[in-house]
């Protein structure tokens, strides 16, 4: 049986390749249940102004201490704002792993790849472990490698769309050409999408909307975790490639065998 090697960031070993986003959940208790049912070791959170008129539970009360927190810079519209959010997270005591999400497009919520590169450069200089979220683009990914990113996180399809791996071929190119772990993030709608991403060779997937908005979030979180495991094992086991069949009469190479006929 093939054994996988753990995914390692900043010395932390991850044996579960499903990362969980915590936005859009009906209740924070569901977040805790999903963390438990899926066995995820990485959870993303965002930073926001406190609502001064209402008391809200802090999400961190629902996340076990041993979970690795990845703080999302959502809300940032440029690199400087992303850096500001990262520093705030660091000051709060959780800010080493930063998911750079810089969006200037409220219709499709596509990340601004260029600002993301700049943000990555700034954050890496300050010692953050940077996970940049991008539209899959090989030039951008190469720039992020150069900037010192810990991974690249291409979207599978538009955030919240649940449409799976519309960007499949582009993601495949990143997996083939980029030395860093490729973590597919955004658009993963059902467990089979997650399995497919792992079969392609992704190092991990991040799922948020699909789980958060499910009727039984904890069950679906577990299903996703199993799918990620299945896809990963399939990738490691290297299934045989599809083969072409030759036609009977060898029109292309018959000339090489003339004398044998």
Residues classed as catalytic: 99
* Window contacting other proteins (CB under 8 A); options: 10-18, 67-75, 149-157, 197-205: 67-75
> Is the CB of residue 39 less than 8 Å from the CB of residue 16?
yes
The answer to whether residues 87 and 95 touch, using CB atoms and an 8 Å cutoff, is yes
* Residue 97 makes contact with other proteins by CB under 8 A: no
Query: For residue 196, what is the enclosing H or E element?
Result: helix 191-200
For the bound state, the minimum distance from the C-beta of residue 178 to other proteins, rounded and expressed in Å, comes to 10
**Is 250 a residue that touches other proteins (CB under 8 A)?**
yes
Q: Is 206 in the site for other proteins (CB under 8 A)?
A: yes
Could you say which of 1, 2, 3, 257 contacts other proteins (CB under 8 A)? 257
Instruction: Decide if residue 47 touches other proteins (CB under 8 A).
Output: yes
Our CB check for other proteins shows the closer of 1 and 50 to be: 50
Q: By CB under 8 A, is residue 259 in contact with other proteins? A: no
Q: Binding to other proteins by residue 45, rule CB under 8 A?
A: yes
Nearer to other proteins, 46 or 230 (CB): 46
Shortest reach from residue 93's CB to other proteins, in Å: 8
Distance separating alpha carbons of residues 101 and 113, to the nearest angstrom: 9
Distance of CA 73 to the CA centre of its chain: 15
Applying CB under 8 A, which of residues 15, 58, 104, 216 lies at the interface with other proteins?
58
Task: CB nearer to other proteins: give 90 or 230.
Answer: 90
Rounded Cα–Cα distance for residues 15 and 54 (Å): 38
Residue 238 binds to other proteins (criterion: CB under 8 A): no
Separation CA 238–CA 93 (nearest Å): 42
Angle, CA 131 vertex, CA 125 and CA 134 arms, to 5°:
110
Q: Identify the bridge partners of residue 206 per DSSP, sorted by sequence position.
A: 19, 185
Rounded (10°) angle between helices 113-125 and 138-147 = 10
Residues for the chain: how many in total?
261
Q: What is the largest CA-CA distance in the chain?
A: 91
Which residues contact other proteins by CB under 8 A? 21-25, 28, 31, 44-50, 52, 55-56, 58-60, 71-72, 74, 84, 87-89, 91-94, 101, 159, 177, 186, 206, 208-209, 212, 243-247, 250, 252-257, 260
């Amino acid at each position: 049986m093939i054994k996988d090697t753990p995914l390692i960031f900043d010395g932390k070993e991850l044996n579960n390749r499903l990362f969980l986003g915590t936005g859009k959940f009906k209740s924070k208790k569901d977040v805790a249940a999903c963390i438990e049912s899926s066995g995820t070791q990485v959870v993303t959170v965002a930073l926001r102004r406190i609502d001064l008129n209402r008391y809200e539970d802090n999400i961190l009360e629902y996340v076990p201490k041993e979970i690795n927190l990845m703080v999302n810079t959502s809300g940032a519209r440029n690199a400087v704002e992303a850096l500001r959010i990262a520093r705030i997270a660091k000051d709060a005591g959780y800010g080493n792993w930063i998911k750079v999400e810089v969006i200037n497009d409220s219709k499709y919520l596509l990340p601004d790849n260029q600002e993301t590169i700049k943000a990555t450069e700034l954050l890496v200089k300050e010692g953050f472990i940077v996970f940049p979220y991008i539209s899959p683009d090989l030039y951008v990914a190469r720039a992020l490698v150069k900037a010192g990113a810990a991974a690249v996180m291409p979207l599978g399809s538009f955030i919240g769309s649940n449409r799976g791996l519309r960007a499949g071929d582009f993601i495949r190119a990143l997996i083939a050409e980029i030395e860093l772990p490729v973590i597919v993030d955004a658009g993963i709608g059902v467990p089979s999408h997650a399995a497919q991403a792992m079969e392609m060779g992704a190092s991990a997937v991040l799922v948020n909307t699909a789980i958060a908005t499910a009727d039984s979030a904890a069950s679906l979180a577990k299903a996703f975790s199993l799918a990620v495991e299945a896809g990963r094992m399939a990738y490691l086991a290297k299934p045989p490639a599809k083969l072409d069949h030759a036609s009977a009469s060898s029109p292309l190479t018959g000339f090489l065998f003339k004398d044998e006929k």
